[in-house]
Chain A
């Protein structure tokens, strides 16, 4: 509880700083909205020319997009500190965190707030809602609850994937760009994983579990796979959180600081 309180205090301070530059505040919000238009445009223009991809129509793929957008938006909005871990080492901010009597991961989480993420998340929610309306589906209550739960777990998974892989680059100095490369792999999860070879499918559900954010909940909601498969989502969430904690502590153990 105390961690959550500290996190919100940090976020509040970040927001105060952001609000003092009002135009930039708006520009980054709209940049967040805009940043996803390319993906949505690609999707809609492609589907003007073909009816479906692996039996998924445009609105069904749209839901996949929406889940990925939402999780990415939450990460950008509140947890961008996990992305800048390497920079924090170089600039020495990490040493500062280590000296404070506060949990380190909470400080890293609350390090930066970026309103572009709010725009991205709203786009994600809008795309999911629009797609479901267009699909003319009546969702029973359990599916609506499942959808909300999936959005939350998806965001947790997304933040922890990011944190885990950026911790690795803290550990192995040569791997500074690995976070960005892993980040780009989420592109693969914007489409039904049926289109990939089996090895890729397994990889997207385990090592880089982006498909757990988008494909698993969407396919369950659309009755494309058995509801039982939904169990993957909580399992992945727990495992990635545990692994992330382990990697981060290992990384901190070998961490030597950048300065004198």
Chain B
């Protein structure tokens, strides 16, 4: 166990340092996220002047929902995912494959390192916004916060699995950008990143209920907003754990099949 950590923690540390070296570009990138957040703040502000609640969400809950989604989107970003597809497309994956390590574990710890920085900065910005715009304190009870953190960690691992799998698709196609884009459209819609899933038609809610994506965004927000309670809470966390295990194993199997497809020109 100890050697496992020693082996993989290095990858996380390396990725972290790399991210820190380019922290300015990440912060400037965050300014672009702010435009999207601004739009939704003003949009909801106008709507909540007219209605006191929309689909059971009041102002505080809606804004917190949008902010949590923004935080999750900025953590484990587009870049992390493109790294894997680029590695496959330019063939540098070969040097990783020759190392005596598990490729998936390595990728996970690299993503973890990058996301520690991304997530840290995101949480700071989002907390300030949430504090200014909503009655944040009311949602920060001890039990609620702890459960939310557990749920976030599970959501992060799941999110990693989903983007890892889409990155692996590049063994089959040479258009990494297209694959990542498609994955993003699918997850944005089915995970609840676009709007809370209860805003969608019933058939769609049923469909997204049986897919893994909602466990990566929608479920953590529901826990934070206190919209899930009692036995259902336990069930929700178990569902997240279940999806993490299923997708992690699926990714492993998929890698073993896909890696046989590898074609590298030259040398």
Contact = CB atoms under 8 A, between A and B. Distances in A.
A6 interface: no
A196 B43 CA distance: 8
Interface in A33-49: 34-35, 37-38, 41-42, 45-46, 48-49
B55 A49 contact: yes
Interface string A195-218: 110001000000000000000000
Given A38-B188, A177-B25, A180-B29, A46 B39 contact: no
A23 interface: yes
Interface in B83-133: none
Contact of A187 (B35, B45, B55): B35
B32 A184 contact: yes
A53 B46 contact: yes
B39 A190 contact: yes
B36 interface: yes
A196 B39 CA distance: 9
Nearest to B181: A31
Contacts of B182: 34
B203 interface: no
A48 B201 contact: yes
B199 A49 contact: yes
Contacts of B54: 49-50
Interface residues of B, number: 34
B28 A181 contact: yes
B55 A45 contact: no
Interface string B21-65: 000010011011111101100110111000100110000000000
B35 A54 contact: no
B194 A42 contact: yes
Contacts of A177: 25, 28-29, 31
A27 interface: yes
Nearest to A189: B39
Interface stretch (B12-20, B172-180, B206-214, B252-260): B172-180
A183 B32 contact: yes
Nearest to B184: A38
Nearest to B33: A184
B78 interface: no
B43 A191 contact: yes
Contacts of B51: 50
A157 to B, nearest CB: 18
A31 B177 contact: yes
Nearest to A177: B28
A18 interface: no
Contacts of B185: 34, 37-38
A27 B182 CA distance: 11
Given A28-B178, A45-B195, A53 B43 contact: yes
A122 interface: no
B32 A31 contact: no
A176 interface: yes
B42 A196 contact: yes
* Shortest 3 CB-CB contacts between residues of A and residues of B: A177-B28, A184-B32, A184-B35
14 contacts: A28-B178, A34-B181, A45-B194, A45-B195, A45-B199, A46-B195, A48-B201, A49-B199, A176-B25, A177-B29, A180-B29, A180-B32, A185-B35, A187-B36
Given A50-B51, A177-B29, A200-B42, 14 more contacts: A23-B174, A24-B174, A28-B178, A31-B177, A31-B178, A34-B182, A35-B181, A176-B28, A177-B28, A177-B31, A181-B35, A183-B32, A187-B36, A191-B43
